């Protein structure tokens, strides 16, 4: 089987017609179409592997094999009985062999043509007479959990958009169950107006933020929390937000980003030792200003201390800056 680019589609497969009594020039297989395993077949090749004739001789992979031991008369094929009635016995053995070989060759060619016709009829029946075959197959794929295959099979049909959304909806649910929240968010984003995808997307974002916090990715966690429309509607969101700000304040302080650190620590002054962490951040900021002679930022540095902080200490730092 090949597609329009002459690329082979899958491995060859075999099909067998058995227990059929076919008369000479007779038709067979028209009621038994061959279902192709792939849908985008542009052309195919047929190789005749084996044929058993009425005298029990066989055509097998290009070779004519000797007849098997004869069957009882009750099991003779209809064609054999008709042939015996219409054919006279002859004493010329060479002539019999020649005619027999001709019959084998003719029957082999007819078998190939008949098989080609059957496959063509099957293809026409599946993809022309029944154009929704792939679409129906896509529904089966949904139930079996093969969502990627279902998306391919559902394309170009009357309600394929709804079908595609349902597939992505189901796939997103599987991803959430697996903890793959980032991938699930993208699916829900594509079907935002389908069913309750908007609410599920927000929940996936919150779950993803919690996951990022647990993994120590505090900046991405803070970003995800700020994309939520109503953060307080999620259970435990207050503590998650405070912990994220607290950890970011510590991280930024260690990186020397004192203004960013102070911004996050101001949001969690009453959480854990957030107040002390902010004082430490302000002290380090003033030391940095003294070391770098950055006098322009000395007043903003003094205002970084939390409310109620002892002004004597601030004045002490300011005096040290002036003396320097």
Concatenate the DSSP letters of all residues of 178-194 into one string. Answer: HT-HHHHHHHHHHTTTS
| Residue 304 or residue 38, greater confidence | 304
Query: By mean pLDDT, which of 31-40, 144-153, 236-245, 300-309 is the weakest?
Result: 144-153
pLDDT per residue as tens digits for the range 119-152:
766 555 444 444 444 445 555 555 555 555 555 5
pLDDT of 29 higher than 80: no
Query: Has this prediction a pTM greater than 0.75?
Result: no
pLDDT per residue as tens digits for the range 204-242:
999 999 999 999 999 999 999 999 988 999 999 999 999
Longest dimension (CA), the chain: 134
Q: Return mean pLDDT, the chain.
A: 76
Q: Whose CA is closest to 282, among 267, 299, 302, 310?
A: 302
pLDDT per residue as tens digits for the range 60-72:
776 776 665 554 5
For residues 260, 264, 267, 273, the Cα torsion angle rounded to the nearest 10 degrees is -120
Query: By mean pLDDT, which of 17-26, 178-187, 293-302 is the weakest?
Result: 17-26
For residue 248, the 8-state DSSP code is H
pLDDT of 184 higher than 80: yes
If one counts every other C-beta atom within 10 angstroms of the C-beta of residue 73, the result is 8
pLDDT per residue as tens digits for the range 262-283:
999 999 999 999 999 999 999 9
The Cα 148–Cα 165 span in angstroms is 12
Of all residues in the chain, the percent with pLDDT exceeding 70 is: 60
C-alpha dist (Å) from residue 39 to 135, 136, 145? 11, 13, 20
The backbone torsions φ and ψ at residue 176, rounded to the nearest 5 degrees and listed phi first, read -60, -45
Give residue 287's pLDDT.
Answer: 87
């Amino acid at each position: 089987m090949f597609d329009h680019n002459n690329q082979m589609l899958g491995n060859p497969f075999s099909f067998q017609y058995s227990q059929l009594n076919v008369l000479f020039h007779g038709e067979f297989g028209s009621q038994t179409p061959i279902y192709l395993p792939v849908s985008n077949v542009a052309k195919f090749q047929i190789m005749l592997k084996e044929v058993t004739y009425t005298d029990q001789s066989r055509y097998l992979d290009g070779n004519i094999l000797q007849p098997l031991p004869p069957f009882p008369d009750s099991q003779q094929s209809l064609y054999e009985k008709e042939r015996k009635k219409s054919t006279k016995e002859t004493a010329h053995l060479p002539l019999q062999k020649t005619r027999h070989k001709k019959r084998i060759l003719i029957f082999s060619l007819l078998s190939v043509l008949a098989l080609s016709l059957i496959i063509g009829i099957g293809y026409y029946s599946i993809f022309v007479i029944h154009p929704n075959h792939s679409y129906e197959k896509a529904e089966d794929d949904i139930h079996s959990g093969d969502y990627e295959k279902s998306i391919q099979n559902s394309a170009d049909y009357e309600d394929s958009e709804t079908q595609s959304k349902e597939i992505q909806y189901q796939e997103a649910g599987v991803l959430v169950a697996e903890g793959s929240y980032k991938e699930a968010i993208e699916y829900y984003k594509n079907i935002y107006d389908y069913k309750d995808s908007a609410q599920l997307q927000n929940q996936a974002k919150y779950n993803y933020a919690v996951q990022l916090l647990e993994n120590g990715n505090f900046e991405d966690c803070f970003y995800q929390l700020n994309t939520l429309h109503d953060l307080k509607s999620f259970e435990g969101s207050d503590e998650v937000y405070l912990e994220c700000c607290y950890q970011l304040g510590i991280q930024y302080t260690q990186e020397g980003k004192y203004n960013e650190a102070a911004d996050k620590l101001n949001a969690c002054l009453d959480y854990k030792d957030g107040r002390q962490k902010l004082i430490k951040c302000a002290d380090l900021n003033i030391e940095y200003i003294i070391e770098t002679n950055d006098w322009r930022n000395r007043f903003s540095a003094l205002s970084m201390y939390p409310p109620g902080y002892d002004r004597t200490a601030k004045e002490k730092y300011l005096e040290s800056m002036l003396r320097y």
